Structure 1
Amino acid sequence: MSDITVIKTLPPGTSKLYELRIYSIKPSCMGNYLQITKGKYHLRKAHSKLVGSWITEIGDVNEALHLWEYDNLSHRASVRAALGADRTWKVEYANEAHEYFDRQHSQLLSVPWGTVATEPFVEGVVLTGIYQLCALQVRSDAANMDIDKFSQITSIQERLLSEKKTGKLMGVFTTQIGDCDTVYQLWNYKTMDDVLECKEALDNNSFYRSQGAFVKVSSKLLTALTSVSPLL
């Protein structure tokens, strides 16, 4: 256990809030959605900070994901009000783009420790745009213990990627409003195959194996939405 780094939780009130918005796009409309988003999404980004934007490669396909940063819920409310009053945004983007949506899902997240990276993993001068979003459901009756265990496992994954120089942790998030008792990891990788190599190395780690399974684990393989996402 001596090689395990336990990351301390940030004091309350020191973290930003993040909204993860997931849009299920009608399969026949994905091309139209990508075209208008790449051409007009700067109108939305002018109102608040976009952390990243992705399309699901493996997982629930025909999805678009956007991660937004806010100071607090009042800040989010003011941004939403400004968007409602922005005629250019509605006419040139929102009115058309909403026709392509099959479903929308939103969650409010916070950062339990560390920070959210603003620069992707860089191998030479090539930015790969390959990401993985992992979701883990902790137990309500033992949330603090599970999150502490989760932080230790995350540290192991970070060390593996650092040693192999194949990727980095972009951030860890816990759900405040949405899918309750859920913790997310956002990873950036050099190649898609590095995702599986990291999983194999993690499965072979004795501490990881000793922790047993969590309640529920799922993951999505994502690609960054070029010309839209700050994280490529």
Structure 2
Amino acid sequence: IHLSPHKYNLYIFPKYPDSWFKSLFVRKVDPRKDAHSNLLTKNEESNLYKIQFHNVKPDCLDSYNKLCEEVLPIIHADKYYPCELVGTWNTWYGEQDQAVHLWRYRGGYPALTEVMNKLKQNQEFSAYRKERGKMLLSRRNQLLLEFSFWNEPVPREGPNIYELRSYQLRPGTMIEWGNYWARAIRYRQHNSEAVGGFFSQIGNLYMVHHLWAYKDLQSREDTRNAVWHEDGWEEVVYYTVPLIQHMDSRIMIPTKASPLQ
């Protein structure tokens, strides 16, 4: 088989010198003298996040949403509990009959422990958990920290759809991922689509979650296509792809109780 040199250069080699060979391997990250959680977060704020994934029985989703709408905003509004409901959604495309909740704990692990201990004494919350358990097939959660270069998620008016893009990274590559995205995030802020960026501390490790907001699916398509015209975006994608073991995308619809609409 004969390959034209011109075609070979055009389609096999990227435009970045030497990068085609380097991309075959995950580059070695320099040894660090501090945990990546300290290098990548807003240390002065020390916010901790908890993301919950609840798989609901298909015939119970409406009842589940109604129950959450009655209970979760009360906890969010009560200053007795040092936590905030950032957002709550149903998965539209991805895992069906699924609810996703994102909580913020200002003050880190002590705030999380305080909330847990106080909720154990809350009879209404205990009744909520018991009723909720009848509606669930499974549930899991993760504790997350936020990347320093992302804005903190704040309430926004709707209607919007949300995309949660989750990346399982290769162990040891979190710093490299953070370095690339610290430069790349500016490409994804033209339409205020960037909501929040997080990485796991407890649960599935070396996992990153990027949360985006769009007016609709067509707006998502247009926004994602437009970024490829930004000088530098192609290089970011090219170098971050080898860091990923696998990735997942959820399109989510906010529930009535969600501060992110």
CA offsets 1:136-189 (integer angstroms, 9 cap, x no match): 23332332122211233332122xxx2xx4x42111111111221122111111
For residue 104 of structure 2, what is the aligned residue in structure 1? 69
Consecutive unaligned residues of structure 2, counting only runs of 5 or more, are 1-38
For residue 97 of structure 1, what is the aligned residue in structure 2? 132
Cα distance, 1:9 vs. partner? 4.4
Q: Structure 1 residues 57 and 157, CA, compared in 2 at 3 Å: closer, same or farther?
A: same
RMSD: 2.1
Cα distance, 1:75 vs. partner? 1.4
Instruction: Tell me if structure 1 keeps the 8 A contact 2:144–2:202.
Output: yes
Indicate yes or no: 2:142 matched with 1:107.
yes
Indicate yes or no: 2:38 matched with 1:19.
no
Instruction: Tell me if structure 1 keeps the 8 A contact 2:52–2:139.
Output: yes
Q: Structure 1 residues 10 and 77, CA, compared in 2 at 3 Å: closer, same or farther?
A: closer
For residue 229 of structure 1, what is the aligned residue in structure 2? 258
Instruction: Tell me if structure 1 keeps the 8 A contact 2:93–2:251.
Output: yes
Instruction: Tell me if structure 2 keeps the 8 A contact 1:23–1:64.
Output: yes
> Which of 207, 210, 213 is the matching residue for 1:185?
210
Q: 2:222 aligns to what SS in structure 1?
A: helix
Structure 1 vs Structure 2: percent identity of aligned residues? 21
How many residues matched?
212
> What CA distance in whole angstroms lies between the structure 2 residues aligned with 1:204 and 1:182?
28
Cα distance, 1:132 vs. partner? 0.9
Q: If you compute each CA radius of gyration, which structure gives the higher value, 1 or 2?
A: 2
Instruction: Tell me if structure 1 keeps the 8 A contact 2:93–2:252.
Output: yes
Cα distance, 1:18 vs. partner? 0.4
Large movers: runs of 4+ above 4 Å: 8-11, 203-206
> What CA distance in whole angstroms lies between the structure 2 residues aligned with 1:218 and 1:198?
19
Instruction: Tell me if structure 2 keeps the 8 A contact 1:50–1:69.
Output: yes
Instruction: Tell me if structure 2 keeps the 8 A contact 1:43–1:89.
Output: no
Instruction: Tell me if structure 2 keeps the 8 A contact 1:24–1:64.
Output: yes
Q: 2:193 aligns to what SS in structure 1?
A: strand
Cα distance, 1:66 vs. partner? 0.9
Which amino acid is the alignment partner of residue 59 of structure 2? S
> What CA distance in whole angstroms lies between the structure 2 residues aligned with 1:10 and 1:109?
10
Consecutive unaligned residues of structure 1, counting only runs of 5 or more, are 1-7
Instruction: Tell me if structure 2 keeps the 8 A contact 1:139–1:146.
Output: no
> What CA distance in whole angstroms lies between the structure 2 residues aligned with 1:132 and 1:175?
18
Instruction: Tell me if structure 2 keeps the 8 A contact 1:54–1:229.
Output: yes
> What CA distance in whole angstroms lies between the structure 1 residues aligned with 2:247 and 2:161?
20
Tell me the TM-score normalized by structure 1.
Answer: 0.82
